[in-house]
Structure 1
Amino acid sequence: MTKSVILGVIGSDAHVVGITILEQALEEAGFDVVNLGVQSSQDEFVDAATAHDAEAVLVSSLYGHAKQDCQGFHQAVADADLEDVTTYIGGNLAVGQDDFEETRRHFREMGFDRVFDSETDPEDAIEALRADLDVRSSESERDGQTVSA
């Protein structure tokens, strides 16, 4: 069974390259990806997760305002009865982000299951997603999953 994943850039952020690369890598890894694109609202993420019976929601933000854009995100997820949905966030999440571990801690406290910096390789996120969703892949599938930017 294919796992559905919602992917998008939250808030007023218009950085599209990272999610395009991630979308391609996720599809090659066998996930069913719904890419919301850029400047997506919390409601768009929640509505898409509900409509597509998603197992995971992956939020991207590169312009440094994710703390503001994600305020109340997990309450919206809970209000939509999506508590079992795995949530990830990644990118340049805070303006002047010097200590990523502090940023990671903040977003984990907000409710995100995993937090990635802007230098994360797509394969690392995919392996984490497979582990979190308990997805198994054959060795031949893994060997074919190389992504170049």
Structure 2
Amino acid sequence: MPTTVILGVIGSDAHVVGITILDQALSAAGFDVENLGVQTSQEEFAAAASEHDADAVLVSSLYGHAEQDCQGFHELLAREDIDATTYIGGNLAVGQDDFEQTRTTFRTLGFDRVFDSETTPEEVIRSLERDLGISTREAETDRVQA
């Protein structure tokens, strides 16, 4: 069964470059990517994760208001009985000076991993492999067999 990742930009954020790069890198690594695009609501993320039986949900935000956009997100996922690994990355806070503080904020909100805007797609792929217990080779094999 392919490893399915839901990807999108949450809230009112309209920055598309990061998820486009991630979509291409994740797809090339063998993941089944459902790219929701920009300005995606929490409910759209939850519906897609449920519909595609997602292994992971990757949330991107660049405009600095992710904390507000993500309030209650993990509670929604729990209500919908979605048990997926969750990542968030980008420029998550306006005037973000201390990323460790930002990381703590988003871990407290329930995210499994929190990435800054300098994170490479390869770092995300390696983290997914570790967190989901797969290797890129397994992901590629899953995609060929699908």
When normalised by structure 1's length, the TM-score is 0.91
Query: Take 1:137 and 1:57, find their aligned partners in 2: how far apart are those partners?
Result: 18
Unaligned 5+ residue runs, structure 2? 141-146
Deviation, 1:136, is: 1.9
Deviation, 1:44, is: 0.2
Unaligned 5+ residue runs, structure 1? 142-149
Q: Secondary structure at the match of 1:107?
A: helix
Q: Quick check: 53-62 or 128-137, which moved more?
A: 128-137
- CA root-mean-square deviation: 1.2
Runs of 4+ in 1 over 4 A off after TM superposition: none
Aligned-pair identity in percent equals 72
When normalised by structure 2's length, the TM-score is 0.93
Tell me the matched-pair count: 139
Query: 1:17-60: CA deviations, max 9, x gaps?
Result: 00000000000010000000000000000000000000000000
Deviation, 1:137, is: 3.2
Deviation, 1:14, is: 0.3
Which residue in the other structure is 2:133 paired with? 134
Which residue in the other structure is 1:23 paired with? 23
Greater relative contact order structure (CA < 8 Å, 6+ sep): 2
